[in-house]
């Protein structure tokens, strides 16, 4: 995780290779998807939405998010004692399913 001068955070998280392939195939912007997912995080939690992933090969993806989104996701991870990488993978997958496959 790095910060740039525009109050954005650069994150690198592991995701399933098949999921990354779908995102690239559909030209989904990872930063926008992450922002949407973080915005909808409480909705996903209330609805018990969860993309269950198997133990498959992971590929690292990188993207920028706003610092406020980063603080929100860190707060969530601390509150629920969950690692940021697994939460961000769920956020991306849930946002993708919610937005692109209604």
Question: Number of folded domains in the chain?
Answer: 1
DSSP-derived secondary structure letter, 55: S
Tell me if 11 sits within 8 A of 1, measured CB to CB: yes
Cβ neighbours around 34 below 10 Å, total: 25
Lowest mean pLDDT among 51-60, 79-88, 89-98: 51-60
Residue 42: predicted pLDDT: 73
C-alpha atoms less than 13 angstroms from C-alpha of 23 in its C-beta half-sphere: 24
Task: Please state, in angstroms and as integers, the Cα–Cα distance from residue 3 to each residue in 12, 29, 52, 70, following that order.
Answer: 12, 19, 30, 10
**Residue 15, domain extent:** 2-100
pLDDT tens for residues 28-74? 999 999 998 888 887 777 666 555 555 677 888 899 999 999 999 99
86, pLDDT greater than 70: yes
pLDDT at 10: 85
Rounded Cα distance, 84 and 48, in Å? 18
């Amino acid at each position: 995780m790095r910060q740039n001068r525009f109050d954005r955070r650069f994150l690198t998280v592991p995701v399933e290779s098949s999921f990354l392939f779908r995102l690239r195939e559909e030209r989904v912007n990872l930063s926008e998807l992450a922002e949407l997912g973080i915005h909808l995080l409480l909705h996903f939690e209330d609805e018990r939405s969860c993309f269950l992933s198997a133990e498959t090969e992971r590929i690292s993806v990188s993207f920028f998010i706003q610092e406020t989104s980063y603080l929100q996701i860190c707060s969530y991870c601390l509150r629920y004692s969950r690692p940021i990488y697994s939460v961000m993978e769920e956020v991306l997958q849930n946002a993708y399913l919610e937005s692109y496959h209604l």
